[in-house]
Amino acid sequence: MSPKQASTCAGPIDELLDPELFESLCDHTRARLLGCLIKCGRGCSVTEMAECCSVDFSVVSRHLQMLERAGILKSLKSGRSVSYAVRYGHLCTTLRGLADAIEQCCPADQLVGGAAACEGGCCGQR
């Protein structure tokens, strides 16, 4: 299939390749903040998160807000304090769905360890 033909084919991959998600993950500081939150396993305040990287509090707050807008984090407000927690289920489901959609589109000879997932391709063509 040519790129032009592929662009006219609608498939699950189109919805799962969310530019906002990837934009939020492409910054080193945001990736580091997300990694810290994942490893903490609990919601953390912006102040706590600012301690894990050498970035100003206000910058950390903006990074966390961007991750929230992308659906990766949820915010919890208590008085003047805002904590952020990973939306583990949503993040795992999104990334797993994307991986599944990529496997469905791949040529069978390119898939490592699971060629059965490539049957039919994402547009039903091979």
**What's the rounded Cα separation, in Å, for the pair 81 and 86?**
17
* Cut 0.85: pTM above it: no
pLDDT at res. 121: 55
pLDDT at 118 over 70: no
Q: What is the mean pLDDT of residues 50-73?
A: 91
pLDDT at 19 over 80: yes
More confident residue, 98 or 73: 73
In the chain, CATH 1.10.10.10 covers 14-86
- Amino acid identity at 42: R
Q: What number does CATH give the domain 14-86? A: 1.10.10.10
Q: What is the mean pLDDT of residues 31-41?
A: 93
DSSP state for residue 115 in the 8-state scheme = G
Q: What is the mean pLDDT of residues 21-50?
A: 92
CA 73, 15, 105, 119 dihedral sign is positive
Q: How confident is the model over 85-99, as pLDDT tens digits?
A: 999 999 999 999 988
